[in-house]
Chains A and B, each alone.
With several copies, the nearest count.
Chain A
């Protein structure tokens, strides 16, 4: 059996969640989602269109910083990635802070585009490698963007899954809860329960997260890694080796 790194597993998981899409956009400082989008494009023979906001070479917007949001508002962005300093069991994300609003005990950078993109992008994939009771909480201290909205609110988009370094949660929009879909190799369901601050659903049997296939690993290491090196040199070197190849 082929050996692989956890990053390669996560990239494969995210690429499968992307599925069939026309346009995937990835924000700044998101090497694993960016790698997954490039993998999906390599496996899809050029589809989806991939916009990496951190890159000039992989960024096709020419109408200024607003174009990503306008484009998403038009329904042209099928997949986007969000994270959170805190994420709770209803899919609410907190990018602002914890404690008194005027003198917070913890301050995060800010909400970025989440309070718009979370509503209008059909497939939002939540990604947070640190899976702990510090990050996955019962109730976020500040709702930068809510996981669900009342039926009368215009909301074609929202979360479909939460990927961590321990497992993959699917999101059930109608039950407004996460569902444990698979546990990564080396992790147990108990590890997940112990390190998750919110309740979640799970079936009787929870499968192990499927490892990336040899073909996927080859594409990743031979085709994607060199492309990635332009955008995330440190990450590409660390995961795939100094030449951008494993």
Chain B
């Protein structure tokens, strides 16, 4: 379960699967993402819970994404996500529009082993027109009260990054609880961590409160600074200069190809 390399750890992420990744601020596994692009992963159904930034933009630009399911893709203060925007305008990817809490609820449905989850709102939004797979029913507990039902999202693989793991496969995720929900919902979970610790993380009650138990985890590899150029909460910040450079380069096809050559295909010196 503990792998020697990130390349080994990402083996469960086959072409054409549904891959779930976390939002950009919760620890986006960028080293593993670059490894997937180097390996040439294809036809992913990428679900970003509930949004994404560089990670989705890189995978889309690299041609790894067939279907994208998320609430938003943006580089935040660095502007629109250029490869996402270009792919959408070219009709190059299938987009499943969503809204953040709908994705959270759909993952919780899978977590609970139920086929759907209800959610307030949404009715009257054009998102519903893009989602024939979402249903509107009358709330059986009230009169004339329409409500949306969201089908469970059961990813083939959840790919996450965390600060710590132990050799029993327990992973310390801290406050980023949706990483646990992703692992509960997914058939398999692939994890990269900043470092491995000795002993069992569950043995310490204070640490245990932030632990994802090992029985949900398929593979783990150490990837120090593994979210670079994005950050890990309370661990290290995003590399703003690099993100600004990405936004500049990725604005054009050629610039993006140059970025891939420099920062993805040429394995970055740590």
Contact = CB atoms under 8 A, between A and B. Distances in A.
Interface of A: 22-23, 28-29, 49, 56, 60-67, 69-76, 95-97, 101-105, 107-120, 142-146, 149-150, 152-154, 234
Contacts of A117: 121
B264 interface: no
B97 A75 contact: no
Interface stretch (B2-10, B30-38, B157-165, B206-214): B206-214
A113 B99 contact: yes
B85 A75 contact: no
Nearest to B74: A109
A102 B159 CA distance: 28
Contacts of A49: 215
B126 to A, nearest CB: 5
In this complex, the interface size class of chain B, counting residues with CB under 8 Å from chain A, is 35 or more
B110 A115 contact: no
Contact of A109 (B81, B101, B112, B119): B81
A51 to B, nearest CB: 9
B71 A110 contact: yes
A115 B178 contact: no
A209 B123 CA distance: 35
A105 B91 CA distance: 10
Contacts of B212: 62
A69 B100 contact: yes
B49 A154 contact: no
B178 A64 contact: yes
Given A73-B114, A143-B125, A104 B102 contact: no
Contacts of B179: 64
A116 B99 contact: yes
A119 to B, nearest CB: 4
Nearest to B87: A107
B16 interface: no
Contacts of A67: 177
A65 B50 contact: yes
A108 B88 CA distance: 10
Contacts, number: 177
Nearest to A22: B215
B268 interface: no
B177 A143 contact: no
A74 B180 CA distance: 13
In order of increasing CB-CB distance, the 4 nearest A-B pairs are: A73-B113, A64-B177, A110-B72, A69-B101
A115 B99 contact: yes
Given A64-B181, A74-B111, A69 B104 contact: yes
Nearest to A97: B88
Contact of B77 (A29, A69, A73): A29
Contacts of A61: 175, 213
Contacts of A116: 99-102, 119-122
B156 interface: no
Interface stretch (B39-47, B140-148, B219-227): B140-148
A74 B215 contact: no
A27 B215 CA distance: 18
A227 to B, nearest CB: 15
B51 interface: yes
Contact of B89 (A23, A65, A74, A104): A104
Nearest to A145: B125
B71 A111 contact: yes
Nearest to A65: B178
Contact of B113 (A75, A113, A115, A118): A75
Interface string B195-214: 00000001000001111111
Contact of A153 (B23, B124, B216): B124
Given A114-B99, A143-B124, A60 B213 contact: yes
Contacts of B84: 107
A142 B97 CA distance: 12
A112 B51 contact: yes
A67 B23 CA distance: 14
Contacts of A95: 72
Interface in B96-141: 97-102, 104-105, 108, 110-114, 119-127, 130
A152 B98 CA distance: 23
9 contacts: A28-B76, A62-B202, A64-B176, A65-B23, A101-B130, A103-B91, A116-B119, A119-B120, A120-B120
Given A74-B185, A143-B126, A234-B77, 14 more contacts: A64-B176, A67-B177, A69-B104, A73-B114, A74-B113, A95-B72, A108-B80, A109-B73, A109-B74, A111-B125, A113-B100, A116-B99, A144-B125, A152-B145
